[in-house]
Structure 1
Amino acid sequence: MTTTTALPGLALFEVPPVTDNAGAGYAVLLDNAVRAESLGYETYWVAEGRFSNIGLPSALTLLAVLSERTDRLRLGTAVIPLAFDHPQRLAETAAVVNTLSGDRLELGVGKGNGGGFSAAAYDAFGLDENRREELYAEALARLRGAFGLQRVVDGKTFGFYPPAGNLPQRLWQATSKVDTARSIGRAGDALQLHRFASGGPTGAVQKDLVDAYSSELPADRSPRIGVSRSVLPAESKRDAVRLFTEHLERDPGATPWINRGSSPSEILRDFYILHGTPEEIAAELVADAAVSASTDYLFSVPLALDDKHYRDSLAVVAEEIYPTLSTVRPNALSRNSLSTLPIPVG
């Protein structure tokens, strides 16, 4: 049993790769999450994807297993693309995982990455990706309603089971669009931000999303904003570039989203991967407008998930980088003190 106190807002975010041995890959995820709990991380977030370089089509299944191997670590999906699940079935599965974990699930949902990244998945499910916005809105509305659904059978009323408790109030939505950020705030949900943004400096672009979200948030709801950042702590910037270069040489397919021909230094720059000494990374994070306005920090490290430096970096983030951020972190609502009253959506 772990006795480590959770560090508020500190989170590990992992994107499972497609490997030759799926079972071994999932075992690495579980081991890393257990290590994160021992280091004081508050939440473990895992990505879900299919027919892509993301090797986990069912995040909730992995988190159900993880719930039995951890004691207090919060468990998050980052994110479940709603178009590929039936809302009622998703709500039921999420409620089972939440029950097994002792009310520790954070339910992150989204549309699936755009720009063609999710095209194969939409095709596999017989869906038109051009309708992704419409499909998402429909599925989200049905997911909200699913938690309170009742049916009468032979005169007896059956309700949603197992009881969802506060889970519907721990719904996180990911977006890169200002209009969607406003609707997330209006619904009283939590906001998730990507590791980098296009159209300008990531922090500035995402601060606009934070402001849009906050402007619509009901007065009785505290903001919950999760910002994802990729960091590579090392002895120096030069050493970080070396580590990243060696990673790419070992696994050329690790970054399928890059422009071919880009150097490791250019990739680190263009995709906003903060690297260097812990002090340098912490200073950049504090100067990041979106980070400074966030309540949760979803850290990822751009190395193989079973790499020794990767695992060592988890401790560096918790012990050397996070303490600087904790001094500027906004107050966040306790995960288990959320109101169970429904939030009107207009």
Structure 2
Amino acid sequence: MTAAALRTAQEIGGHPPVPGLSFFLTIPVDPDPGRVYADALASLRLAEELGFETAWVAEGHFQFLGVPSALTFLAAAAQVSTTIRLGTAVLPLAFDNPVRVAETAALVDALSGGRLELGVGKSNPGAASTAIFTAFGLSEDDRETLYADALGGLKGAVSHGIPAGDRHVQLYPPTGALAGRVWQATGNPVTAAGIGRSGDGLLLFRTTPQGDPGEVQARLVDAYLEALPLGATPRIGISRGVLPAESRAAAVALIARERERTPERFVTFAGPAVQTPEDYLRALNVKYGTADDIVEQLGQDAAFVRSTDHLFSLPVPAGSPAFTEGLRQIAQEIHPRVRATSPVS
């Protein structure tokens, strides 16, 4: 843990988990991956101290996300944390054998004492995704079928075991209640309705290609809730980037400094068309400014105000003073105010 993070943890002491308060961790590619992973684990421990209920980690192959195996990272996280729940957001199922995913998930759940939240998805379509499918010897044209088959295999293995010829084998470690902690990510209303019918949790990303994320994703929330079985508890996790600062101008200046220090990350994250810090923040749908500014912006987000789980991310390096202070403000000044006004229906 960095010195600044350690001081903050010592000052605040440990807090019990706060329902719905989540931390979405994106770990970039870096020349020193060991250091970056250590910083990420330290930030996860700090989030636990601050009372975050869940830490979610993104998985990505051959691109700007530096975690090609989220479950492997969470196995390490399970050993340096005690109460914070550990989520994958998300595992792109097409690129793995579903039985192996189920086995690994069961192992991570056992190592963490039943803290795993298993988020899965299809992978986002587009140029980067096409290259990943090709690298794995697959066609992106088969994206929907590959996902449906892998999801069925994963859920079957977790819930009932695996047919093996004339035998039926069970996972080890036993999966316990893991089947009730599956989440699916989507940007498609038809898929959102299917997720609702299954009773799984719904995960929504921070941006949408179709327009304003709040408006677009509000329709996904509608489809999910309408299909959810009567009496089932909705689980709606929505990711949003936030950047607390003394003012909106200070937040922009902070991003400008980070962009000057590591310009390659900003091209990769949001594309070469991004010209200004404001463009970058807009492209990633980051709410920024004072805590009051951010609470106001989140309150205008038609999807976010209906979520049960708030997956906050910070667009600054883990371990930096801005990151540490941002986590503190999210936990103590932002989430308590948006949580009080977040109906799911």
Q: TM-score, normalised by structure 2?
A: 0.91
Deviation for aligned residue 1:244: 0.8
User: Match of 1:316?
Assistant: 329
Judging changes above 3 Å, is the alpha-carbon distance between structure 1 residues 58 and 112 closer, same or farther for their aligned structure 2 residues? same
Find 2:32's aligned residue among 11, 21, 27.
Answer: 21
Check if 1:47 corresponds to 2:51.
no
Deviation for aligned residue 1:308: 1.5
Q: Which moved more, 1:244-253 or 1:222-231?
A: 244-253
| Structure 2 residue ranges without an equivalent (≥5) | 1-8
CA distance in 2, matches of 1:158, 1:271: 44
Find 1:258's aligned residue among 271, 278, 281.
Answer: 271
Deviation for aligned residue 1:305: 2.0
What SS is found at the alignment partner of 1:118? helix
Please tell me whether the aligned partners of residues 12 and 41 of structure 1 are also in contact (alpha carbons under 8 angstroms): yes
More helix by share: 2
Please tell me whether the aligned partners of residues 150 and 157 of structure 1 are also in contact (alpha carbons under 8 angstroms): yes
Please tell me whether the aligned partners of residues 187 and 208 of structure 2 are also in contact (alpha carbons under 8 angstroms): yes
Q: Which moved more, 1:14-23 or 1:32-41?
A: 14-23
1:226-245 matches, cutoff 5 A: 226-245=237-256
Judging changes above 3 Å, is the alpha-carbon distance between structure 1 residues 157 and 272 closer, same or farther for their aligned structure 2 residues? closer
- Amino acid paired to 1:79: V
User: Match of 2:342?
Assistant: 329
- Amino acid paired to 1:246: R
The CA deviation string for residues 4-50 of structure 1, in whole angstroms up to 9 with x for no partner, is 21111011111111111111111111100000000010000001111
Deviation for aligned residue 1:120: 2.2
Q: Which moved more, 1:267-276 or 1:39-48?
A: 267-276
- Amino acid paired to 2:316: L
- Amino acid paired to 1:15: T
User: Match of 2:129?
Assistant: 118
Q: Which moved more, 1:1-10 or 1:210-219?
A: 1-10
Deviation for aligned residue 1:306: 2.9
User: Match of 1:344?
Assistant: none
For these two proteins, the number of residue pairs brought into alignment is 331
- Amino acid paired to 1:216: A
User: Match of 2:303?
Assistant: 290
CA distance in 1, matches of 2:216, 2:20: 22
Please tell me whether the aligned partners of residues 81 and 110 of structure 1 are also in contact (alpha carbons under 8 angstroms): yes
| Structure 1 residue ranges without an equivalent (≥5) | 333-346
| Displacement over 3 Å in runs of 4+ | 150-153, 155-158, 329-332
1:1-346 matches, cutoff 5 A: 3-147=14-158, 148-150=160-162, 158-255=169-266, 256=268, 257-330=270-343
